[in-house]
């Protein structure tokens, strides 16, 4: 008598397997969408143009009289804080060092020579 209901048991078991597979695929797709979104957000938050502007300003400072470097760098730091809300530290040792932090992105760069 137990053999008469074998087909129904197979149908129920396959239904459970298929539903678990669909649930697993839905979770995987949901996570991949979240990863793509956060990656795109972090790419948008990186202040590439702000850092390029600072680098260009330092290049202009380098071409000016070394006597004015300290005051020009201080002016740049004040402007960065007021306009961009970013902390910028510029040091000159044998090379120029730029440290940029706007609360979201922290970036450091050392420029040994100016090829561009």
Tell me the pLDDT of the chain (116 aa) as tens digits: 456 667 778 888 999 999 999 999 988 888 877 776 666 666 666 778 888 888 888 888 877 888 888 888 888 888 888 877 888 888 888 888 888 988 878 888 888 876 55
How high is the pLDDT of residue 38? 67
For residues 101 and 36, give the distance between their C-alpha atoms in angstroms, rounded to a whole number: 25
């Amino acid at each position: 008598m137990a053999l008469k209901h074998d087909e129904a048991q197979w149908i129920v078991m396959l239904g459970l397997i298929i539903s678990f597979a669909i649930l697993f695929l839905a979770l995987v797709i949901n996570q991949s969408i979240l990863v793509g979104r956060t990656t795109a957000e972090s790419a948008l938050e990186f202040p590439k143009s702000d850092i390029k502007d600072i680098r260009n300003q330092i290049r202009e400072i380098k071409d000016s009289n070394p006597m004015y470097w300290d005051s020009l760098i201080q002016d740049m730091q004040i402007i960065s804080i007021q306009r961009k809300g970013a902390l910028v530290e510029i040091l000159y040792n044998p090379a120029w060092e730029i440290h940029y932090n706007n609360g979201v992105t922290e970036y450091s760069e050392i420029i040994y020579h100016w090829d561009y």
